[in-house]
Structure 1
Amino acid sequence: MITQFSLLKKPGRVFAAGLLSLAAPAALVAPVTATAATSSSQLDSAVAALRGIKTMRADFVQTDRSGQTVGGELTLKRPGKIRFEYEDAVNMLIVSNGDALTLVDYDVQQVQRWPISNSPLGALLDPSRDLKKYGKLKPTGDPNVISVEVRDPKRPEYGVITLVFLRNSAAPGGFELNSWVALDSQNKRTTVRLSNQRYGVSVSDSAFTYRDPRRRSRRPR
């Protein structure tokens, strides 16, 4: 299975493929043990932060384990819809219509799809993926930073995603999704960091469609 966002090199260019993975940045992690009550409260805050997002646009920078980076714009519409629009040098698109994630590579005219529930991104997109059930709080030593590791122990092939939230009173739920690290079943790690988050923006469902490069009848991208 493709693992998002591991970065692949093609001659002279950097491309993204696979499913998002995220781990808490080392600088945010401290050897502090949270109490059960604190853990429950922080998990509740993380859940509220995600559920509070109806629509969002943000800039993103994606980094693979070798340090290669690529940027673009993320568009999110809950439940289940997301779009990663890469910078012009990357002729690729990742989009979810609420049921499946689709990776479209326009250079090789290839389309790959898989259920959102089968990827680390399910923690962001799948309404049935309960952070309280699958999430584990990772100590940060900072009350303004929440780090939650999400994995399904019965489905290790789905990988692991660690979501990092920073306190921000202007964000839904009082915490802002700042970054995530995804680790796939082959231990390929990808980090995605967000900036310039805008909430409650108008987003049409047409934003989560794509032009199929395999068809002669082309829809607008």
Structure 2
Amino acid sequence: MTRRDLLMMGAAAVALGALPSSSALAQNRDPETLAQLSAYLNSVTTMQGRFTQQSSDGRVAQGNFYLRRPGRLRFEYDEPYPTLVVADGVWAAVINRRAKTLDRLPLNSTPLALLLRENVNLTSEGAVRDVQRGPGILRVTAVDPQRPGDGSVTMIFSTNPIELQQWIVVDPQGKTSTISMNNVQRGMAIEPAKFVIEDPNFR
């Protein structure tokens, strides 16, 4: 897990399943839809469960995740990966517990920021480039409006009820990273220590 992997991180999903191709989806960019999706994202306070990360190079990793909005997230990777990914509200960090390294960058410069910010308003972000509707799903593709060449993030929602099912990040070279989640719970208390970035050299 490297700095590039952090930039490729997605978040979120109750299940990873087969989805219609983009060509089979009808475009739908109306503000009402974006307002409904924003309301859903803003309703998420805490969440935890298991995750599976799949990369386009064939790597598969699993572990536990914890989320507390705004700004906090933790991915604990199972062995053999000695990795922690932690967002503390300001920074997002990749910690290698075996090599005792820490690499961090501003949270707002990662795809995680869209999910973790305090008030999500997709109608005014300036980042949403495409909203497509298919049977029972919505696909929302966003880019950084200041750096559109840096890649894109596609969030996939079910529509009845609205639930974030999948988050796919595509980098400028077209490589993807997808995180799927299971055994998801919402609304529980999560200890603050889960979201503290600790230097592995001082543990």
Instruction: Give the TM interval when normalised to the shorter protein.
Output: 0.7 to 0.9
| Worse-superposed segment, 94-103 or 44-53 | 44-53
Contact 1:4 1:21 survives alignment (8 Å): no
What CA distance in whole angstroms lies between the structure 2 residues aligned with 1:28 and 1:181?
15
Within-5 A mapping of 1:6-21: 18-21=7-10
> What number of residue pairs does the alignment pair up?
195
1:199 alignment partner in structure 2: 186
What is the alpha-carbon root mean square deviation over aligned residues?
2.5
Structure 2: distance between partners of 1:129 and 1:185: 25
Q: What residue number does 2:3 align with?
A: 2
Higher normalized contact order (CA 8 Å, seq sep 6+, divided by chain length):
2
Specify whether residues 157 and 213 from structure 1 end up closer, same or farther in structure 2 by C-alpha distance, changes over 3 A only: farther
Q: Residue 200 of structure 2 aligns with which residue?
A: 213
Deviation at 1:206, TM superposition (A): 1.1
Aligned residue number for residue 151 of structure 2: 159
Structure 2 CA distance for aligned equivalents of residues 140 and 67 of structure 1: 29
Which residue number corresponds to residue 80 of structure 2?
89
Question: 1:21 touches 1:189 (CA, 8 Å); kept in 2?
Answer: no
Residue 190 of structure 1 corresponds to which residue in structure 2? Answer: 177
Which segments of 5 or more consecutive residues in structure 2 lack a partner in the other structure?
A: none
Distance in 1 (alpha carbons) for counterparts of 2:44 and 2:106: 21
Amino acid at match of 1:121: L
1:141 aligns with 2:134: yes
Q: Which residue number corresponds to residue 57 of structure 2?
A: 66
| Superposition TM-score, scaled by structure 2 size | 0.84
Which deviates the most, 178-187 or 200-209? 178-187
In structure 2, the residue matched to 1:106 is: 97
Paired residues of 2:151 and 2:170 also in contact (CA < 8 A): yes
Cα distance between partner residues in 2 of 1:160 and 1:179: 14
Q: Distance in 1 between matches of 2:110 and 2:69?
A: 17
User: Identity, % of aligned pairs?
Assistant: 26
- Higher alpha-carbon deviation: 109-118 or 186-195: 186-195
Amino acid at match of 2:83: M
Q: Deviations over 1:25-65 (max 9, x none)?
A: 873334343355xx323222221121000000122110000
Once residues 93 and 138 of structure 1 are traced to their aligned partners in structure 2, the CA distance between those partners, rounded to angstroms, is 32
Aligned to 1:31: 24
Question: Which consecutive unaligned segments of at least 5 residues does structure 1 have?
Answer: 6-17, 169-173
CA distance in 1 between partners of 2:3 and 2:195 (Å) = 20
Distance change >3 Å, CA 3–CA 140, structure 1 → 2 = farther
